Each structure stands twice: as C-alpha cells, then as structure tokens.
Amino acid sequence: MSSVALAQPAKKRASLGTQLSLRPTGCSGKGKPIRVCFISPLGYGLYRPESGHAFGGAEVQFFLLACALSSDQEFEVSVLTTVETQPGTERYGSLEVIKRQGLGRLAGHREGTCWNEVKALRGYLSAFLDMQALLRTIGADVYLHAGAGVEVGAYALICRLLRRRFIYVVASSVDLTHPNGKVKGPLRWLYSVGLRLADAVICRSSEQQAWLLDRYGLQGVLIRTGHPIPTPLVRARGCEDTSSILWVGRIHPLKQPEMFLDLAERVPKEHFVMIVMPDDVQEALWRRIQQRGVRLSNVTVYERIPWNEVSTHLGRAKLLVNTSTYEGFPNTFVQAALHGIPILSWAVDPDSVLSREGIGICARGSFDSLVASTRQMCASPDLQGQVGKRAQDYARRYHDLNHSAEELKTLVRRLAKSPGDVEG
C-alpha cells in the first residue's frame, strides 16, 4: 500500500466564507468525488503553524486523515475551522481550509435561572441557523466532528435537515463514560441527542466501543489512531544514544503538567523536557509551569513547537511520560512507539495496551509508582531496548495511518452511496 504524503501549505487565497461556491444537495453520484468536510474548530494552527493557534489530539487526527483523503481523487476534502478574525478560505495542498469567525454564542451560560436558560437557547438557535447556512454552502456529502459538546446536537440535526451524513468521532473516554460527556450548561443534553442522531460513531479503542454500547446502545466503528510509518522504520534505541524524558501536551488541568515537574524533582539525575502548548484560558497554570521550569536545573520547557517538529524531540528521548487524568487514544503514544520509546503513564492505558503489549507501564493513578517506573526504566538500557522494540512492532501492526485512512474511506463510501436518504 502506498504511503500517505502530507500536503504542504499552498498560497493563501483571500475569500469570504459567504463566497464559497454553493454545491448542489444530495450525496455524490457516480463519477463525482465524494465531498467530505472535517469540522475542526481548533484545527487552524495545524494548517498554518505560524498563526500560533492552539490545537489538541483530535485536531491532529483530523489533520492527518484530511490530508490522506485529499490525496485520493475519489474524495474532495475541506476542513472547517474557527478563527477570531479574518474569516475566509485558504488552500492547504489539495484540501480547502474554511475559516469561520467564532462569535462565542455558546459560551458562558450557567445554570440556575430561567433567564440564563433563555439566553443559552437564543444563542444556540442563532448559532444553529448560521451553521446550517454554512454547511449548506459547503455542500459536503459527509461531515465529521470529534469531541463532546452541545454543538454535536446541532451538527447531527443540520445534517438530517440537509439530507447529509454525520459522523461523530470519540475524542476522549469521558465522551462516553460520563453522562452527557461532562458537557456543562442547560443545553448539555444536546450532546447525547447528537450522538444518537449520528449516522456513525468512530471509536479509537475497543473499550470505547463497549462504553458506547453500554450507555447509548450504539455500535461503534473502530478506527484506531493512525500516524505515518517512517520508511525505513526508526530503529529502537537504548540510553546510550538518547538523553531526555519527554512530556508533550496542552497546558490544561486534565493534563496535569505540574505532575511532570514533580517527577523531575524526584528523579533529579535525569533530564526532563516539556513541549507545551499554552492555553490563554489557563494563563495562571502556564505561569506556574514557567516559574518552576526555570527553578529546576534538570528541566527544559519548549513552547509552541510546530507539530511536525515533535518527532525531532522524540528522536532524542528515552521515555515518554503521560500524566493526564483521561484521554482517548493519545497521538503521543503512537508517536513514541514508532520511535521505539517506552511509555510511562500515570493513569491512561486505553485497552490496557501498555501492559498487554508490553510497550510501557501504567502507574494506575499512583505517583509513587510512576516515580519507581521511571527509575527502573532509566536504570536499564536493555529494558528500554526490549520495550521499545515491542512498541515499534505494535505501532506498525495497529496504527499505520494508511490503514486508518482506508477504514475511514470505506465508512464514508458506505454512508455516501445512497442519494441522501437518512436512515431512521
């Protein structure tokens, strides 16, 4: 199977969102490309790294899959992002990046009073009508969105009204393990409605499929987190040619970045590297990370490293540490495995893959166990090499982007083959 080539940014083309060409309704007919739109509000920074826009793991997967599908002439791909200023459209290789200006109409509504609920409903209806007009203009046959939120209900209902298909992609375990996916506010129930109205739900792990079936009675489609497989495959290494213990993630309480600094204090002879993506909402947490990082002589903190440069830091790492409270299936797990790097996790272990496949250690929520595992791995280059080799073998078998893209293509074809009739 040919490898997926990631597109490169093309020259910007100034255009207003209202100037998008209006495409005819109905699913793709014979001989016409299947039109696919990835709804990725936080994804713009991946297509324009110089913008400095923050993004997360779900956005990375949409970026990789959008590039993969756009390289196939059977598909016409667009990505709908949200920006604060300068809406319009741009080209990124063979796909179209649509920049929608966000107005914050779904934010800041708290429960407790009837007036708050009325304001929330008014904001939601306004956003709903604008989004319906935009999706009609985009004219895709299939729309995808990842992550829980009240907007899931809107996307699913709009697609029903437009006789288009909607795929929901599970972004995190709490999307399924908690009522309404931990969505807050008086309209939180719209998330569950959207999930039930979706034409398909993509899960990243078998346990996500089980949770979806148990809570919602729905059968999920398993499409694993995928990444390009290096050719030739990066060779697994030991301590002799690596130096750092790596942490990669957003500055957010659920990621618990301060725990990584606590670990650095407990293992002072090792060099710890943080690659962080600051969040304007988490300014106080980011300030604490900066201050502690300066005080700790064995810690280096890098801010806003472009996503495609993370592999350089992985090439210099001997361990990857994850301190999150919860995740979906982390991109960093796959990236580390492809580089032959053992994975140490405080709590996250989707499908018990770390222990079952022998590619790392999960501390099951114990910081002391995380410290002990770190010391154990650092003390044994042979153990690192053995675990790293198993990690590479595992990633090659289960997380090849080509396989994930082909599975998504199969699903999209199946949903788009009928002339827009929504299954009840």
What is the reported pLDDT for 385? 96
Q: Are 61 and 208 part of one and the same domain?
A: yes
What is the reported pLDDT for 331? 96
> What are phi and psi for residue 171, nearest 5 degrees?
-100, -25
Report if residue 233 sits inside a domain. Answer: no
- Average pLDDT over the chain, rounded to whole? 88
Q: Are 298 and 218 part of one and the same domain?
A: no
Q: Are 343 and 319 part of one and the same domain?
A: yes
Q: Total structural domains in the chain?
A: 2
Determine the average pLDDT of the residues in 141-167.
Answer: 97
Residues in Cβ contact with 40 at an 8 Å cutoff, skipping those fewer than 6 apart: 58, 59, 62, 63, 66, 79, 80, 81, 146
What is the reported pLDDT for 288? 95
Euclidean distance between CA atoms 201 and 184, whole angstroms: 21
Q: Are 276 and 388 part of one and the same domain?
A: yes
Q: Show the tokens assigned to 290.
A: 């900066």
pLDDT band, residue 424 (cuts 50/70/90) = very low
Q: Are 220 and 83 part of one and the same domain?
A: yes
Q: Say if strands 88-92 and 95-101 run parallel, antiparallel, or are unpaired.
A: antiparallel
Closest CA to 56 of 381, 257, 327: 327
Peptide bond into 9 cis (omega under 30): no
Q: Encode burial over 360-396: b for 16+ CB neighbours within 10 A, e otherwise.
A: bbbbeeeeeebbebbeebbeebeebbebbbbbbbbbe
Closest CA to 212 of 189, 199, 195: 195
Q: Are 181 and 291 part of one and the same domain?
A: no
Q: Where are the beta strands (DSSP E) in 42-160?
A: 75-83, 88-92, 95-101, 142-146
Report if residue 6 sits inside a domain. Answer: no
Contact (Cβ atoms closer than 8 angstroms) between residue 274 and residue 301:
yes
Contact (Cβ atoms closer than 8 angstroms) between residue 388 and residue 342:
yes
Report if residue 7 sits inside a domain. Answer: no
Model pTM greater than 0.85? yes
**Which has the higher per-residue pLDDT, 374 or 4?**
374
What domain range includes position 296?
A: 239-398
199-208 per-position pLDDT tens digit: 999 999 999 9
Q: Are 275 and 316 part of one and the same domain?
A: yes
pLDDT band, residue 104 (cuts 50/70/90) = low
359-387 per-position pLDDT tens digit: 999 999 999 999 999 999 999 999 999 99
Q: Are 200 and 279 part of one and the same domain?
A: no
Q: Kindly report the CATH number assigned to the domain that includes residue 314.
A: 3.40.50.2000
Q: Are 150 and 299 part of one and the same domain?
A: no
Q: Are 68 and 213 part of one and the same domain?
A: yes
Report if residue 423 sits inside a domain. Answer: no
Report if residue 422 sits inside a domain. Answer: no
121-137 per-position pLDDT tens digit: 787 888 899 999 999 99
Q: Are 119 and 166 part of one and the same domain?
A: yes
Q: Are 188 and 149 part of one and the same domain?
A: yes
